[in-house]
Amino acid sequence: MCGQRAGGGGVVPILFLLFCFLIQQVTGHLDDCTCDVETIDAFNNYKLFPRLNELLESDYFRYYKVNLKKPCPFWNDNSHCGIRDCAVKPCPSDEVPDGIRSGSYKYSEEANNLAEECEEAKRLGAVDGSLSKETQEAVLRWTRHDDSSDSFCEADDIYSPDAEYVDLLLNPERYTGYKGPDAWKIWNSIYEENCFKPQNVKRPLASGRGDAHFFSGVCVEKRAFYKLVSGLHASINIHLSARYLLQDTWSEKKWGPNITEFQQRFDEVITRGEGPRRLKNLYFLYLIELRALSKVLPFFERPAFQLYTGNKSYDAEMKNLLLEILHLAKSFPLHFDENSFFAGNKKEAAKLKEEFRLHFKNISKIMDCVGCFKCRLWGKLQTQGLGTALKILFSESLIEKIPESGPSYGFQLTRQEIVALFNAFGRISTSVRELENFRNILQNMR
């Protein structure tokens, strides 16, 4: 069988590799899109990826605040991965730039303080001062509930004592050894209980079905939801295959691409036809997140918005790079057309949109059930990033009304959402780049 491990060293015969290379090609147009794989590869790998990588290494984007101690809300299983590579090392507070620790996540420090005062006044302005403290707090809770109505994720409380800053560059996403029943349980729960699927299909993780059969009778919105989750799953598997622990000795660890691992997850024969579809779903996810970046440009273009870390000249330089990336995203010639979503009967469309939002929010909660802390970190970040992208796409009319100066009450992004949005897209962009790397490795083994 193609991709079969040879005895002892796990080396795959060259002829099998070349055969796999031929059948693993993912080319041509994507379903539900006007775009093709080749256009995305060229745009991402040679234009966008290098600039995005530079941005994500900057201080504003490398520090992410996360609570890795939240209990799983769905089952009583608090087992954690004991493998050392599953661990996450949080940052000492004095290593995080002052501007980030001060909570200035919306604008510059001065503008942010003013915005917070305005928002608080807006929330309490209509509240009678004679009301009890309990009633005023209840009003604030209602307001927070209203504010969360456009959220696609269950976000961490960054003010919780259990929330800590993590340096993403020092805790890279890679193979940790976390696998087996625990990892399967997570993905099975995501697909079985939280993905739109035909009722007669019981096991979305099982291989061997064609798209036409699986999506028979499924509307474009539900089909897209499933593809987004499948694309995220594929992206994570590419990262694990590309940064695999190849050597672990007392003197050094060596990480790099594992061809056999990649084939086990994506080869057409081994996966009985599912591998190439998974990779096409990755490209679909790429288009969705790229479209969100192109749509959110007005929010970041305002002079009031700053990537505030406390270093003015460096922050200005990074904002220019950010805008360059967003303009580049906008220039992409074959964007996904989200106008086909929820375009039918208004009442039914609103109901489906809310169902769409709640399904994804539930998936974000499942990330607190992941037993590997490093996998949990990157799972939470990537689901929040995709959730933020969906929030942007469903807020187009609000984004168009953003004033050029002053705070925007209709549409807002926190620093957490901004960091997650760009790092999540960075993961997808890296996956597309790694696919080219795997192709080149296989070609060079002829």
Confidence of residue 104 (pLDDT cuts 50, 70, 90): very low
Told to judge if 91 belongs to the known catalytic residues of this protein, a careful annotator would answer no
> What are 47's two structure tokens?
């234009």
Q: What is the pLDDT of residue 318?
A: 96
Residue with tokens 């790079």: 321
Q: What is the largest CA-CA distance in the chain?
A: 81
Q: What is the pLDDT of residue 353?
A: 79
Count of all residues that appear for the chain in the document: 446
Q: Is the dihedral of CA 138, 105, 405, 403 positive or negative?
A: negative
Q: Is 223 annotated as a binding residue?
A: no
Tens of pLDDT, residue by residue over 116-130, are 444 444 443 444 444
Residue 302 makes CB contacts below 8 A (sequence gap 6+) with 402, 403, 404, 405
The predicted model gives 141-164 an average pLDDT of 67
Q: Is 233 annotated as a binding residue?
A: yes
From 22-31, 82-91, 179-188, the region with the lowest mean pLDDT: 22-31
Q: Coil, strand or helix: which one is 253?
A: strand
The predicted model gives 194-206 an average pLDDT of 56
Catalytic member of 2, 91, 369, 372: 372
Q: In this predicted model, which residue has the larger pLDDT, 158 or 375? A: 375
Domain ranges for the chain, please list them: 14-108+136-444
Supply angle C-alpha 410, 412, 413, rounded to 5. 165
Residue 339 in this model has a pLDDT that exceeds 90 = no
The predicted model gives 379-406 an average pLDDT of 88
Q: How far is CA 315 from the centre of its chain?
A: 24
* pLDDT mean across residues, the chain: 78
Told to judge if 372 belongs to the known catalytic residues of this protein, a careful annotator would answer yes
3-state secondary structure the chain: CCCCCCCCCCCCCHHHHHHHHHHCCCCCECCCCCCEHHHHHHHHHHHHHHHHHHHHCCHHHHEEEECCCCCCCCCCCCCCCCCHHHCCCECCHHHCCHHHHCCCCCCCHHHHHHHHHHHHHHHHCCCCCCCCHHHHHHHHHHHHHHHHHHCCCCCCCCCCCCCEEEECCCCCCCCCCCCCHHHHHHHHHHHHHHCCCCCCCCCCCCCCCCHHHHCCCCCHHHHHHHHHHHHHHHHHHHHHHHCEEEEECCCCEEEECCHHHHHHHHCCCCCCCHHHHHHHHHHHHHHHHHHHHHHCHHHHHCCCCCCCCCCHHHHHHHHHHHHHHHHHHHCCCCCCCHHHCCCCCHHHHHHHHHHHHHHHHHHHHHHHHCCCHHHHHHHHHHHHHHHHHHHHHCCHHHHHCCCCCCCCCCCCCCHHHHHHHHHHHHHHHHHHHHHHHHHHHHHHCC
The predicted model gives 382-396 an average pLDDT of 91
Confidence of residue 342 (pLDDT cuts 50, 70, 90): low
Q: What is the pLDDT of residue 343?
A: 62
Confidence of residue 215 (pLDDT cuts 50, 70, 90): low
Q: In this predicted model, which residue has the larger pLDDT, 178 or 89? A: 89
Confidence of residue 197 (pLDDT cuts 50, 70, 90): low
Confidence of residue 354 (pLDDT cuts 50, 70, 90): confident
Q: What is the pLDDT of residue 268?
A: 86
Confidence of residue 239 (pLDDT cuts 50, 70, 90): very high
Confidence of residue 29 (pLDDT cuts 50, 70, 90): low
Confidence of residue 202 (pLDDT cuts 50, 70, 90): very low
From 258-267, 324-333, 405-414, the region with the lowest mean pLDDT: 405-414
Tens of pLDDT, residue by residue over 70-101, are 988 888 766 677 677 888 888 887 889 888 88
Q: Is 187 annotated as a binding residue?
A: yes
In whole angstroms, give the CA distance from residue 67 to residue 164: 6
Q: Percentage of the chain with pLDDT > 70?
A: 72
Q: What is the pLDDT of residue 434?
A: 95
Q: What is the pLDDT of residue 224?
A: 84
Q: Coil, strand or helix: which one is 65?
A: strand
From 66-80, 167-181, 237-251, 254-268, the region with the lowest mean pLDDT: 66-80
Q: Is 378 annotated as a binding residue?
A: no
Q: In this predicted model, which residue has the larger pLDDT, 11 or 44? A: 44
Q: Is 80 annotated as a binding residue?
A: no
C-alpha dihedral (199, 220, 394, 383), degrees to nearest 10: 50
Confidence of residue 106 (pLDDT cuts 50, 70, 90): very low
For residues 264 and 278, is the Cβ–Cβ distance under 8 A? no
Q: In this predicted model, which residue has the larger pLDDT, 354 or 292? A: 292
Catalytic member of 86, 153, 369, 375: 375
